[in-house]
Amino acid sequence: MTTATEASTLQLTSGSVFIGEARLLDDVSISLVPCTVTGLIGPNGAGKSTLARALARQQPLTSGECRLDGKPYASFSSREFSRRIAYLPQAIPTTSGLTVEELVSIGRYPWHGALGKFTDSDRAAVKEALAITNTDIFADRPTDTLSGGERQRCWIAMLLAQQANILLLDEPVSALDIRYQIETMSLVRHVSRIRNVAILIILHDINLAARYCDHVVAMKAGRIAWQGAAPNLIDAHVLEAIYETPMAVVSTLEPNQRFAFAKLPGDLSKRASPEG
Amino acid sequence: MAASSIETRFDRLILLHATLPRLAMAILCGAGLAVSGAILQQVLRNPLVAPDTLAVSAGARLTLGLVTLLAPGLFGFGRDLVAIVGAVAAVALVLVISRSRKYSPVSMILAGLVVSLYCGALSIILVLLKDRYLIGLFIWGSGSLSQQSWEPAIQLAMRLVVCGGVLLLLVRPLSVLDAGEDAARNVGVPVERIRLLAIGVAVLMAAFITSTVGVIGFIGLAAPALATFCGVQRFAARCLWSAIMGALLLLVTDLAVQLLSGDGAFIPTGAVTAVIGSPLLLLLLSRLQSRQPQPPTNETLTSSRVGQSRRTALLLTLLGAATLAGLAALVMIGRGPDGSWSILNGEMFADVLPWRLPRMLATAGAGGLLAIGGYILQRVTQNPLASPEIMGVSAGAIMGAAIALSFAGSSMDIGLGLATTIGSFAALLFVLSISLRRSAAPERILLAGVALTALVDAVVGLIIANGGPSSVLLLAWLAGSASDISLPVALATVGAAVVLLAVGLLGSRWLAVLPLGASVATGVGVRVPVAQSALFALVALTAAIATPVIGPLTFVGLMAPHLVRLFGIRSAPAGLVLSALIGAALMIIADTLARTIAFPLQLPTGILASLLACPVLLLLIAMGNKR
């Protein structure tokens, strides 16, 4: 098992992205440290994806600086950078004709490059990534014949095969049903622990964020509105400030089972009662 | 005094019976083609369909040519009827082929393009076979508006008015289609019947016009695009404005043609519409929005077969190489002076081989080159329609040669080679800069290529029409100069194919990653701009080397990658090699046929190649989804 370095740290200092008049990212500072899952939440258009793209070096910063292991981004070549940071875009492209294994093998590009040999260590990394994500059972199938959840796992496997120290995942669970959401989130947490990896994951589900992340950053209008330890997110006042919507928190009888939800208008019992 | 009055009377006569009818004809044809295009675009919900792209004009032209040459008696039933039969047959073929793909825009255009290519190639072969001097068919084929009386204009006007009457009845139901098929059905519109009727009207209009004046390209595509660009939203308004735009476009073009041609020189207007229409379209392209949301654009024509091991790919590649070697033996087959078929024997071998071998080697090499370029383009742009020929790269090569020939005048090989390379690269850059400015939707990239090709064709056509020694050389280029190629040049072509294939294989990792999109490719450490420009430079080079040998119209670069994918090969290196092998094999077969079927006449190899490959491709598109 080879990795570029033991672990990496990512530090963004007062990063801003302005496009014309629009301030997509406004003076945001954030750091990602090994063995930690950082959840990124916030309303639509808050700048979550812009932040992830900026950290992935796919979106140039208007001002501010990104540093990887203390060195500026510009000092890394494309492949050196990709060995350390892997990014899963929100819109996953269609992969006509690729089998799962071929897709996952693409994650090895930063290691073998355009001309290098596909070595045994590459093969081992692909195999391991397939095994961790339980995608090895359909490794030979074309990706376009899989369900949405299965395909999502294949892409995570590709990122794992990349063996980067920092993973940036843009809404990897939004298209999945509840069971796959839970499976994927435990997979993400598991990977951060066994690989000593720093993970940034964009989520819409606050309860998933509170349960599976270590640290949560909430964004609003291009700025960081709140951040703290994940369990502290489940607080009606905090959430109301982030989403500007009436929120409530309930506890079940089991210890530490607290859930947050938005208060919806209307009376359910009246709606449910039969008319006659 | 008397003389001058005769002169004025004569002028008056010309004005009344030649100039005015010609103006009327231009307005009628422009408006009719534009409305036909607007209807087709509305019905098929595809901003790229037009009488030309659905093969309406090509079909009409083919049957008219067939009847002229083989059974002139049939014109007794009426010229229009003959044209309509051809037009309807061509459109029906296109619709049947694209039905299995649910009439998706890309597959429909692909089918239309291939059918019209096939009809065009057949027409040319027909003329070459039957009567080499039947230039009239060519002139008519490129659309001439010149008139001697009011009769044709009046006849056409009456027919178009009838079509317009039917169209009026269809405006309401067709407008409802804007809300989507389901919504239309929901409010009680019999969608299928309306569709069929509307397509019928559009095809009729185009067929009437084609039968009267010949093929006038681009108006049916450009005028509705212009109307849409000007912000015309509703269908009825779009029809009206398309008609106005179309009439104006053709009128202006025709007047320009008359002014420019001045004395003597004959320039068919149809060829020139492209000169005005295509830059206009190119100009608008970057701002032209598809009116309706397109279905997912990543449509590929792959059959998703399960489990394709490396071994199968290797086996197929070996098989391909063996087939190619076997085909090379075709060089032995030929026809004697008396026309009888013969296989070369010992003593003839040494005499005949120097004639046949260079030609076969050169065409095979060129076919391989174009197939490599096509495979790379289709992979990188994720566009099943991309190929050096369709994207205007071949046209750019020809343009480079045309400019070099007409300005330098000499036929210096090195200067010419450089000019073609620069020309093809410039064309590729141009098309890609237009299409990559926003998301590279297949429609956009295709439209840019088609427009560029049309523009270059027209300019080259004008250079040729001007005459001069350079035009003779250029004509030879257009047909492909394979027939009188020397052995060293032929060997160089094959060598170039092998070298560029090797270079392409070095980039096969890129070919695997780039289809996943710039974001993912950057994510795994590919420097996307570097990778893309390197690969595109390779494509430009393949087209620049291959085009002088076999001409710009082979479409091997489009066919070969499709055949590869329909064989089920997905891995980039194997696909690249197999594509090159298929391209070479196609050209060898085509060359052998070109040499023999019309003996002692030698047909252009490039055209025969498209005749061979088109039916296969059409069949494969039609069957694609059933497996």
**pLDDT digits over B514-547, tens only?**
888 888 888 888 888 888 888 888 888 888 888 8
Residues ≥6 apart with Cβ < 8 Å to B219: B29, B30, B33, B34, B37, B246, B249, B250, B273, B277
Q: How many domains does chain A have?
A: 1
The Cα-based distances of B174 to B91, B92, B193, B194, B229 in angstroms read: 20, 20, 11, 7, 20
What average pLDDT does range B149-163 have in this prediction?
Answer: 88
pLDDT at B440 over 60: no
**pLDDT digits over B399-423, tens only?**
887 777 777 655 556 677 778 888 8
Q: Quick check: A76 contacting B, CB < 8 Å? A: no
- List for chain B the helix, strand, coil content (%; round to 5): 75, 0, 20
pLDDT at B295 over 50: no
Does the distance separating the beta carbons of B570 and A97 come in below 8 Å? yes
**Alpha helices of B100-178 — where are they, by DSSP H?**
105-130, 135-141, 151-176
Residue A245 falls inside a structural domain: no
Does the distance separating the beta carbons of B523 and A89 come in below 8 Å? yes
Residue A91 falls inside a structural domain: yes
Residue A143 falls inside a structural domain: yes
Which residue would you say has higher pLDDT here, A163 or B335?
A: A163
Contacts with A57 from chain B: Cβ below 8 Å: 522
pLDDT at B603 over 90: no
In chain A, which residue's Cα lies nearest the Cα of B298?
A: A94
Question: What is the band of B587 on the pLDDT scale with cuts at 50, 70, 90?
Answer: confident
**pLDDT digits over B258-275, tens only?**
777 665 555 667 667 766
pLDDT at B302 over 90: no
Residue A241 falls inside a structural domain: no
pLDDT at A276: 40
Contacts with B506 from chain A: Cβ below 8 Å: 114-115
pLDDT at B337: 65
Which residue would you say has higher pLDDT here, B241 or B322?
A: B241
Which residue would you say has higher pLDDT here, B78 or B469?
A: B78
Q: Cα separation of B380 and B572, whole Å? A: 11
Q: Structure tokens of A35?
A: 């063995």
Contacts with B571 from chain A: Cβ below 8 Å: 102
Does the distance separating the beta carbons of B520 and A109 come in below 8 Å? no
Which residue would you say has higher pLDDT here, B80 or B117?
A: B80
Q: Quick check: A56 contacting B, CB < 8 Å? A: yes
Who among A97, A110, A142 is closest to B524 (CB)?
A: A110
Classify the C-alpha dihedral A232-A234-A236-A242 as positive or negative. positive
In chain A, which residue's Cα lies nearest the Cα of B526?
A: A78
pLDDT in tens for each of the 276 residues of chain A?
Answer: 444 446 889 999 999 999 888 889 999 999 999 999 999 999 988 999 999 999 999 888 999 999 999 999 999 988 899 999 999 988 877 766 678 888 898 889 998 888 888 889 999 999 999 998 888 898 888 887 888 788 888 899 999 999 999 999 999 988 788 888 898 899 999 989 988 999 999 999 999 999 999 999 999 999 999 999 998 888 888 999 898 888 888 887 666 678 888 888 877 777 655 554
pLDDT at B309: 55
**Angle of helix B191-213 versus helix B79-99 axis, rounded to 10:** 140
Residue A5 falls inside a structural domain: no
Residues ≥6 apart with Cβ < 8 Å to B140: B64, B214
Structural domains of chain B in order of their starting residue, each with its CATH number: 9-285 (1.10.3470.10), 328-626 (1.10.3470.10)
Who among B512, B523, B570 is closest to A87 (CB)?
A: B523
SS3 sequence of B402-418: HHHHHHHCCCCHHHHHH
Q: Cα separation of B20 and B153, whole Å? A: 10
Rg (CA), chain A: 20
pLDDT at B54: 84
| pTM exceeding the 0.90 threshold for the entire prediction | no
In chain B, which residue's Cα lies nearest the Cα of A117?
A: B509
What average pLDDT does range B588-609 have in this prediction?
Answer: 78
Residue A254 falls inside a structural domain: no
Which residue would you say has higher pLDDT here, A197 or B318?
A: A197
Average pLDDT score over chain B: 77
Q: Structure tokens of B273?
A: 């519409």
Classify the C-alpha dihedral B487-B489-B493-B499 as positive or negative. positive
Residue A250 falls inside a structural domain: no
Question: What is the band of B441 on the pLDDT scale with cuts at 50, 70, 90?
Answer: low
CATH code at position A113: 3.40.50.300
Who among B307, B517, B523 is closest to A82 (CB)?
A: B523
Question: What is the band of B138 on the pLDDT scale with cuts at 50, 70, 90?
Answer: low
Q: Structure tokens of B142?
A: 């490129």
Q: Cα separation of B38 and A42, whole Å? A: 46
Q: Which domain holds residue A23?
A: 10-233
**Interface-testing mutation among A50, A96, A163, A171, with chain B (most B C-beta atoms within 10 A):** A96
**Interface-testing mutation among A77, A83, A106, with chain B (most B C-beta atoms within 10 A):** A106
Residues B331/B356, Cβ–Cβ less than 8 Å: yes
Classify the C-alpha dihedral B215-B560-B627-B571 as positive or negative. negative
Does the distance separating the beta carbons of B526 and A102 come in below 8 Å? no
**Bridge partners (DSSP) listed for residue A198:** A36, A166
In chain B, which residue's Cα lies nearest the Cα of A161?
A: B524
Does the distance separating the beta carbons of A93 and B304 come in below 8 Å? no
Residue A273 falls inside a structural domain: no
pLDDT at B146 over 80: no
Does the distance separating the beta carbons of B300 and A58 come in below 8 Å? no
Least confident of B132-146, B231-245, B382-396: B132-146
pLDDT at A265: 80
Q: Cα separation of B81 and B60, whole Å? A: 10
Cα distance between the two ends of chain A: 68
Identify residues of B whose CB sits under 8 angstroms from chain A CBs: 296, 298, 300, 302, 304-308, 382, 506-507, 509-510, 512-513, 515-517, 519-520, 522-527, 531, 565, 570-571
- How far is the alpha carbon of A124 from chain B, nearest alpha carbon, in Å? 18
Does the distance separating the beta carbons of A141 and B302 come in below 8 Å? no
